[in-house]
Structure 1
Amino acid sequence: MPKRILQGTVVSDKGNQTVVVNVERFFTHPLFKKTVRRSNKFHAHDAENAYKAGDLVRIQECAPKSKLKRWEVIGHGSKG
């Protein structure tokens, strides 16, 4: 089964080898037909502590690394 890959912005890098990534998604509301923005925060593993707050990153699902970490950073995101 393929692993999900998401793109988001680092909102916190205070944890050791951990970053918190905010991922936004847009969808059309089924009744009002208006574009709605929703966001989720994911704790992701950053082994080298390479990413800082404000960085655009890509994260991928992985086996659980701690109580909250089920994602790992796989690189910088693209702006397009």
Structure 2
Amino acid sequence: MASMAGTSLSAAAASQRALGSSIHGTKLAHSTTPAVATPAQPLRIEAMKKIQGRVVCASSDKTIAVEVTRIAPHPKYLKRIKSAKKYHAHDEANECNVGDIVTLAKCKPMSKLKTFVVVERKVGRPRGERLPAPTLPPLESESEESAVAA
């Protein structure tokens, strides 16, 4: 009994498929629009990942280590938390130094860890290095006191 029910269902499904394919075939055969539209310009889909960070190590040949800092809210407490991650990137000309700000683009893996390439470089200063203090001209009161004293 179960085998008869299975065959009747499969026969009904086969006839349904045949009917559906003939209907779809008729629609495609009599349609006036082309099935594949050729665009005037080729589509350009760019799904490359780009990240920006600071160079923390440039001692290897053609490889730099970049630290990328992200700020995201904590899932429960919603406080903004900093998280940092290091990436290895390919620097063909060995032009990046520690402290530079670089933009990295995803590429095919060059080694086990190196899957980014340097796209853009901005000269920066190493972390911990301070700018020199600006020297200001003497105040008018100081210059008057020195003139009176002389």
TM-score for the superposition, normalised by structure 2: 0.50
CA distance in 1, matches of 2:112, 2:76: 37
Higher radius of gyration, 1 or 2: 2
Could you say which structure has the higher strand fraction? 1
Unaligned runs of 5+ in 2: 1-45, 123-150
Report the counterpart of residue 51 of structure 1 in structure 2.
Answer: 96
Greater share of residues in helix: 2
Q: Does 1:18 align with 2:63?
A: yes
TM-score between both structures, scaled by the size of structure 1: 0.91
Structure 1 gaps, min length 5: none
* Other-structure match for 2:78: 33
Distance 1:68 1:33 in 2: 32
Taking the aligned partners of 2:113 and 2:84, their CA distance within structure 1 comes to: 17
Looking at structure 2, the residues matched to 75 and 51 of structure 1 have their Cα atoms a distance apart, in angstroms, of 10
Could you say which structure has the greater relative contact order, defined with CA pairs below 8 angstroms and 6 or more residues apart?
1
How big is the alpha-carbon RMSD for the aligned residues of Structure 1 and Structure 2?
1.0
| Structure 1 runs (4+) greater than 3 angstroms displaced | none
Deviations 1:6-61 (A, max 9, x none): 00000000110000000000011121110000011000000000100000000010
